């Protein structure tokens, strides 16, 4: 039995430019826990705008971005849309083991097919 991989390296397509102009592209994301997906629901920003859930989720699971000491919601908000979409896709991929479909069967004719499941945080 292998060791569970819980952290995944990435390189952002464009990168986060900090206030001094330094570009941060290399980072790491850890697997999400149940708390990562439940606790942000109490955040007033998420309650006012459900789309903000992605920002909170990513700020919780991105463990490293360049030389930044912390990855905060403000850092995620400041990402270029290309990088934000990249991290959302990565989040969904690593937390679903690459599977975004489930097998289903028609109850009448027993035809088997796959259904794409909706990813969280989109």
- What is the reported pLDDT for 68? 96
Token pair listed for 94: 């690593």
Q: In which region does residue 21 sit, left (phi positive, over 0), alpha (psi from -120 to 50) or beta (all else)?
A: left
Distance between CA 82 and CA 85 in Å, rounded? 5
Token pair listed for 90: 């990565």
Q: Are 97 and 29 in contact (CB under 8 A)?
A: no
- What is the reported pLDDT for 39? 93
Lowest mean pLDDT among 14-18, 52-56, 97-101, 113-117: 97-101
Distance between CA 85 and CA 91 in Å, rounded? 10
Q: What tens digit of pLDDT does each residue of 1-49 get?
A: 567 778 999 999 999 999 999 999 999 999 999 999 999 999 999 999 9
Token pair listed for 53: 């859930």
Q: What tens digit of pLDDT does each residue of 85-102 get?
A: 999 999 998 888 655 555
Distance between CA 48 and CA 114 in Å, rounded? 34
Q: Among 26, 7, 9, which Cα is nearest to 66's?
A: 26
């Amino acid at each position: 039995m292998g060791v569970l991989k819980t952290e995944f390296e990435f390189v952002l397509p464009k990168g986060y430019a900090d206030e001094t102009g330094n570009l941060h592209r290399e980072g790491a994301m850890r697997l999400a826990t149940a708390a990562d997906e439940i606790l942000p629901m109490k955040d007033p920003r998420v309650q006012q705008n459900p789309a903000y859930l992605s920002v909170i989720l990513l700020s919780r699971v991105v463990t490293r971005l360049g030389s930044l000491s912390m990855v905060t919601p403000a850092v995620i908000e400041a990402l270029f849309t290309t990088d934000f979409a990249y991290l959302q896709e990565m989040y969904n991929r690593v937390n679903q083991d690459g599977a975004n479909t489930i097998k289903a069967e028609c109850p009448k004719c027993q035809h088997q097919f796959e259904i794409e499941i909706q990813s969280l945080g989109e």
